[in-house]
Structure 1
Amino acid sequence: MDPDYALFATIVAEGGMAAAGRRLHISPAMVSKRLMRLEQRLSARLIQRTTRRLALTPAGARLHADLLPIMAALDAAERRVAGLSEAVSGPLCISAPTSFGRMHVAPHLGRFLMLHPHVDLRLDLSDDYVDLLGARTDMAIRITADPGSGMAARRLATNRRLLCATPAYLDAFGAPERIGDLKHHRLLAADGQLPWRLIGPRGAATVDGQSHVRTNSSEVVRELMLGGVGIALRSLWDVSDALADGRVRQILSGHEGSSDVGLFAVYPHQPHPPLALSAFIDFLAEIYAPTPPWSHRGIAPALPAA
C-alpha cells in the first residue's frame, strides 16, 4: 500500500498530526507535508483543519471507509504468510448511551476481556449522537427506529418502552384509565422526548404536553419518576428492576412506545470488519437475544407486532 495512504489512516486513528507523527516516529511537519502531497495527488481536501480538531471532509470520509477493509485484508494476509493466528486482538472503541452502557454493557466487559485478553478496549458513554469516523469510534450502540443508511447495523434486541409511575404517585393522583387521562397528569420527559408516540389496541396514539420538570437528562427523568413526581415513558431495560421489586408500576399496559425502536450495533461499512469488532457484536448478541436479561414476568406481555 502507498505509505501516504497508511499515513492518512494513522492521522484519522490518532486524531491529529502530532499524535500520528509520534506513532510513526516522524515530525508533525513531515506528516503535514505528506498529507498535502496526497491531497494534491487526489485533487481533494481530505481533512478539514480547525483550531480545535481535525475533521474528515466528505472525500476524506469516503477514502477512509475504502481504506479500512484494504488495510484489514493486508494485515490478515501478512499474518497468514507469517504463520500467525488470527486471534481477536487490537484496539476497539465502543460508544453507548450513558444509562444503558452503565447498566447493561459495563457489567459484561470483564467476561469479554477474559475471552479476548488481547483486545485493547475503550468504552465511551454519551447521550449525544456520535460521529463514528470523526470520533474514531469502531461501533456505537444506538437505541433508535432508524440506524441510518450510511452505516452497517445489526439489531441486538427489541426496546420495549412502558408507561410507568410509582405507587405513591398513583395513590396521590390516581391511575389513568385511558390515554386521554394523561393530559390531567404530570408527565416527565427529557428535552425532545415529547410527544410520545404509542401503539395501542386501536393503533397509533400520540401523547403531547410539557414535562412537569424540564431537563436535558434522561437519567434525571428516571430519578424524578422513581421519586414519585410523575409518569414517564421508560425503556424496559431502564426500569426492569424497579418493576420487579414493586417500586414502579406499569400503567395503561395496553399501550407501549412504538415497536419499531430497537437496540442496534452501528458501525462503518467494511467487507471484513476487525475481528475484535465482530467478536464484541457477537458477544452482545448472545447476551441480549433471544430474551434480554432485563425481561421478566412482572409486566404485561409485549404487544403483537403491527
Structure 2
Amino acid sequence: MSDITDMEIFARVVGAGSMSAAGREMGLSPAVISKRIRRLETRLGTRLLQRTTRQLALTEAGQGYYERVLGILASIEEAETFVTRRSTMARGTLKVSAPTSFGRLHIAPHLKRFIELHDDLQINLVLSDSFVDVVAEGYDLAIRIAELDDSSLVARRLAPVHRVLCAAPSYLESHGTPASIADLEDHVTLAAAQQIPWHLDGPKGEVVVRPSGPLSTNSSEVVREAVLSGLGVALRSTWDVGPDLAAGRLRIVLPNYRASDRVAVHAIYPTRRFVPAKVRLFIDFLADLYAPHPYWDEGLQDAVPEMEKEPARP
C-alpha cells in the first residue's frame, strides 16, 4: 500500500535526521522523498515536519504521528516475519487424502520419521478410495493412483505403477496356469467393481478383459486377500503385492500382458504459486522415499522384464 510506504519514508527521514540521509539509505533522491512527505501531509491535512535549511524538526502533530507510526511499522514487520517463517517451515496441520491400501502400506509406516523431522507439524491423513475435491474439502494435497485428466490442479508424479496378473501357487496347482489371454475365460478372475474391465497391453496391442467370478466387492483389499487365499487370478499393483510376489506367495501369470504404465502415483495440490512449506516438504519426502525405483519393486525386475528402469518423472 502506498500509505504504508509513505509512513515508512516519513519514519526513515525522522530517524536519519534529514531527507538526504534517508534517501541514501533507501536509494531514493531527496526530491522523491520530499514529494512523498508532502503527499502524506496533504492526505493527513497537517504539517508533520518543519523544514529549515539546516535541519528537520517534528511538529507537535508530527511527533505524535511518528510515535504511532513506529508501532505500526513494527507490527507490519512482525506480521511479515510470521508469514515468511511459515512459508519456509512446516507448521500447522497438513491435511492429506490417500487411497486406503496405499496409505496404509506406503504412507502410514513412514509418518513417524517425517513428524520427527518436523515436530511443529500435525498430519491429518484421510484414507478413502473415492476421489476427494481437494479445494472444496480443504485438503492441502491428495495422493492419487490414476491416469490423470487435465485439471486446474498441479500434479507431481511420485512413482510408476506396475500392474500384473497374478495368482496364488495353490490356485495354479488346482486349476492350471493360463497360457494365453483367451485361457482366462476358463479361470476365476477377481476384481473390485471399480476396476472392471481390465485394459491390458499385450504383444498385439491392447486387449480388454471383463473379470467374472463368484466374488463381487467394492474393496480392492478384499480382492487382495481373495487372490492370496487361492480363489482366482487378479490384476494387482506391485506396490500392493510386491512382497508377496518376491516371497512366492503369489506368482505372475501371462507376464507379456500388463496394465498401462500411464497410471502412476501422483501428488496433487491446488496451485504452483506460494506452495506452503508443509506441502512442499511432504511431497519431497514421498518423492525421495519412492524414487528413483520404488522399494516395493525390489527383486521383481526379472519377473516383470519391461518394468520401468528410469527414475520417476516429476
> TM-score normalized by structure 2?
0.69
Q: Contact (CA 8 Å) 1:165, 1:249: kept in 2 or not?
A: yes
Change (3 A) 1:75 1:253: farther
Counterpart residue type for residue 160 of structure 2? T
Percent of aligned pairs with the same amino acid:
46
| Between 206-215 and 134-143, the greater mean CA deviation after superposition | 206-215
Deviations 1:60-106 (A, max 9, x none): xxxxxxxxxxxxxx999712799899322121101110000000000
Equivalence for 2:305:
301
- What CA distance in whole angstroms lies between the structure 1 residues aligned with 2:207 and 2:186? 16
- What CA distance in whole angstroms lies between the structure 1 residues aligned with 2:78 and 2:265? 31
Equivalence for 1:149:
151
- What CA distance in whole angstroms lies between the structure 1 residues aligned with 2:291 and 2:169? 31
| Between 202-211 and 122-131, the greater mean CA deviation after superposition | 202-211
- What CA distance in whole angstroms lies between the structure 2 residues aligned with 1:294 and 1:75? 48
- Compute the displacement of 1:117 (Å): 0.9
**Unpaired stretches in structure 1, ≥5 consecutive residues:** 2-73
Equivalence for 2:176:
174
- What CA distance in whole angstroms lies between the structure 1 residues aligned with 2:279 and 2:83? 23
Q: Contact (CA 8 Å) 2:155, 2:267: kept in 1 or not?
A: yes
Query: Which of 88, 91, 96 is 1:89 aligned to?
Result: 91
- What CA distance in whole angstroms lies between the structure 2 residues aligned with 1:133 and 1:251? 41
- What CA distance in whole angstroms lies between the structure 1 residues aligned with 2:294 and 2:250? 20
Deviations 1:138-196 (A, max 9, x none): 11100001154121000000000010100000011100011111111101000131210
- Compute the displacement of 1:120 (Å): 1.7
Q: Contact (CA 8 Å) 1:92, 1:120: kept in 2 or not?
A: yes
- Runs of 4+ in structure 1 over 3 Å off: 74-77, 80-86
Counterpart residue type for residue 256 of structure 1? R
Equivalence for 2:271:
269
SS in structure 1 of the partner of residue 123 of structure 2: strand
- What CA distance in whole angstroms lies between the structure 1 residues aligned with 2:284 and 2:190? 35
SS in structure 2 of the partner of residue 108 of structure 1: helix
Equivalence for 2:242:
240
SS in structure 1 of the partner of residue 196 of structure 2: coil
Equivalence for 1:282:
284
- What CA distance in whole angstroms lies between the structure 2 residues aligned with 1:259 and 1:105? 22
Change (3 A) 1:81 1:170: closer
SS in structure 1 of the partner of residue 88 of structure 2: coil
Structure whose CA Rg is larger: 2
Change (3 A) 1:119 1:147: farther
Q: Contact (CA 8 Å) 1:79, 1:86: kept in 2 or not?
A: no
- What CA distance in whole angstroms lies between the structure 1 residues aligned with 2:204 and 2:146? 24
- Compute the displacement of 1:301 (Å): 2.3
Q: Which has the higher helix share?
A: 2
Change (3 A) 1:275 1:174: same
SS in structure 2 of the partner of residue 192 of structure 1: helix
- What CA distance in whole angstroms lies between the structure 1 residues aligned with 2:99 and 2:118? 24
Give the CA RMSD over aligned residues.
2.4
Query: Which of 219, 222, 225 is 2:224 aligned to?
Result: 222
Q: What is the count of residue pairs matched by the alignment?
A: 233
Query: Which of 111, 116, 119 is 2:118 aligned to?
Result: 116
